[in-house]
Structure 1
Amino acid sequence: MTRITNWQDKVAIITGGSSGIGRAVALALASNGAKVLVTGRNEARLADMSTSHGSIETLKADSSEPASAKQIIETAMDRWGRLDLIVNNAGAGQPLQIADYDAGLIAKMAAVNIIGPSLLLKEGHAALRASQGAIVNVGSAVSRNAVPMVAHYAATKAALEHLTRSWAVELANDGIRVNAIAPGPVKSGALTGMMGLPGEVAEQIEAQETKQIPLGRRGIPADIVAWVLRFGSPDNEWLTGQVLTVDGGWTLRS
């Protein structure tokens, strides 16, 4: 595990942090001394997360609900009195053929992937300014190419990357850095979880994607964790507005 020494008593919020990449990031931060608030919707996974490390606390919150942003920030501030890092990891996506386009489904993706991070920034702005903190947005490498069937997911993640660059400029005078990670195919359960695909379909997609990755394997959450910690760390005080694709070379071939 990446060891970073300056997380002691820092406070981080990880949305969608009870599984996959978010869970791995939360555990890494807690292991390096941070106090971590993990949000999510699945009570069973949150309960498991709350017992995984003494420095991790959980909050059931739906990032698609506008009111959740204030609740999340207030929970962290009431508990620890400061905020150093927001990791916007929660994501929503669903494969859709054009004939199945639905306003509600598309709006849900936008609510989680665009509106949720925006309102969390609004509510957490003052606390991040006080700590000279950072934001790390979790995008997706699918935004690099044409992606039939998941076009709206990719589009909302591309929008989050644009917000990353815009926020980096807007928040620079406050000393707040904003960067993003765009993971490629990672073994995180997203295909059967967030995307809602049947297990056999997910296995077929995973096999196909693996063949397209020059480095020869799918990613694992640990491949992403190190970069989230580096982007979030105050050690990188002159790094902002960047979107890093971590995908084993997948987007170079697909």
Structure 2
Amino acid sequence: MVITGAGTGIGRAAAHRFAAEGAQVLVVGRTAARLEEAAAAHSSISAFAADAAAADGPERIVEAATQRLGRIDVLVNNAAITRPAALGAIDRRTAEEQIATNLLAPLFLSQAALPHLASVKGTIVNVSSNPPWGGWPDNSVYGSTKVALDFLTATWAVELAPKGVRVVSVAPGITATPVLAYAGFTPEQIAAAGEGLVGRIPLGRVAQPAEIAWWIVNVARPEAAYLTGTVVRVDGGLSVAAGQQA
């Protein structure tokens, strides 16, 4: 299986859980050092540094996976970046980078991996985020890419069902990952943002990466063979707290 954005956070936790259950895993990301740290935990994890958003990234990743693992039965599109900005302050290059990483990379990586997934009736897991029915100030670009990813899940589930390929979204709520630090936020800013968000979460806390990884692993299991085209929201009740649909 292949997991993008697997050097830290949810991707790393998912790689460790898959490997602990006997899977052969290729962890992919842009930073080799982080990937090597992730791979060091299990002999069945292999690291491959590549940018899935680059024009040749998907083909390079698929080639590496087939050479090292022999097959691709699960693809986890987890890599994402966020660069918060309100309308009026959105930089075009930064917006394009988010769209390329969060949306185009999963699209073209899934397309490149499709022949291999179809040959084993595999599974695509898209790691998305916010639901489409509420606004998210300062996150119009990031949020739009995640809503679009869920639309791809629904569409691909219909397109690929005849090939035996399942497609599922796992949509985490607020999770303790380095994503905001990588966006340039200070520890103080991250702490302040977290305090404001926790008050809106019915379960009263942020998620840990391992809690999201559990769902990624389980929707990919053979026992989940009748699950496709759905969005599994793992958000501590955040999406329903404001009277939104689940």
Q: Confirm or deny a common fold (TM above 0.5).
A: yes
Q: 8 Å contact 1:230–1:236 — kept in the other structure?
A: yes
Q: Please state how far the C-alpha of 1:80 moved relative to its aligned partner.
A: 2.0
Match of 1:55 among 31, 44, 55: 44
Match of 1:177 among 146, 166, 180: 166
Match of 1:250 among 227, 238, 242: 238
Corresponding position of 1:6: none
Match of 2:19 among 26, 30, 37: 30
Q: 1:239 to 1:142 in 2, by over 3 A?
A: closer
Residue 199 of structure 2: SS of its match in structure 1?
A: helix
Q: 8 Å contact 1:164–1:241 — kept in the other structure?
A: yes
> How many positions carry a matched residue from both structures?
242
Corresponding position of 1:209: 197
Residue 136 of structure 2: SS of its match in structure 1?
A: coil
Corresponding position of 1:112: 101
TM-score by length of 1: 0.92
Corresponding position of 2:211: 223
Unaligned runs of 5+ in 1: 1-11
Paired amino acid for 1:133: G
Residue 212 of structure 1: SS of its match in structure 2?
A: coil
TM-score by length of 2: 0.95
Match of 1:87 among 73, 76, 89: 76
Corresponding position of 1:141: 130
Q: Please state how far the C-alpha of 1:142 moved relative to its aligned partner.
A: 5.9
Corresponding position of 1:5: none
CA distance in 2 between counterparts of 1:128 and 1:140 reads: 24
Please list the CA deviations of residues 17-73 of structure 1 after superposition, one character each: whole Å capped at 9, or x if unmatched. Answer: 010000000000001000000011122212212312100011111122121100001
Q: Please state how far the C-alpha of 1:251 moved relative to its aligned partner.
A: 2.0
Q: 8 Å contact 1:141–1:247 — kept in the other structure?
A: no
Residue 99 of structure 2: SS of its match in structure 1?
A: helix
Q: 8 Å contact 2:4–2:77 — kept in the other structure?
A: yes
Paired amino acid for 1:215: L
Q: Please state how far the C-alpha of 1:198 moved relative to its aligned partner.
A: 1.5
Q: Please state how far the C-alpha of 1:99 moved relative to its aligned partner.
A: 2.6
Q: Please state how far the C-alpha of 1:147 moved relative to its aligned partner.
A: 0.6
Q: Please state how far the C-alpha of 1:140 moved relative to its aligned partner.
A: 0.5
Residue 43 of structure 2: SS of its match in structure 1?
A: coil
Paired amino acid for 1:252: V
Q: 8 Å contact 2:79–2:102 — kept in the other structure?
A: yes
Q: 8 Å contact 1:186–1:221 — kept in the other structure?
A: yes
CA distance in 2 between counterparts of 1:197 and 1:206 reads: 12
Q: 8 Å contact 2:81–2:179 — kept in the other structure?
A: no
Give runs of ≥4 in structure 1 deviating > 6 Å: none
The alignment status of 1:44 with 2:33, answered yes or no, reads yes
Residue 171 of structure 1: SS of its match in structure 2?
A: helix
Residue 191 of structure 1: SS of its match in structure 2?
A: helix
Q: Please state how far the C-alpha of 1:252 moved relative to its aligned partner.
A: 2.2
CA distance in 1 between counterparts of 2:114 and 2:32 reads: 28
CA distance in 2 between counterparts of 1:187 and 1:200 reads: 15
CA distance in 2 between counterparts of 1:166 and 1:14 reads: 21
CA distance in 1 between counterparts of 2:73 and 2:139 reads: 33
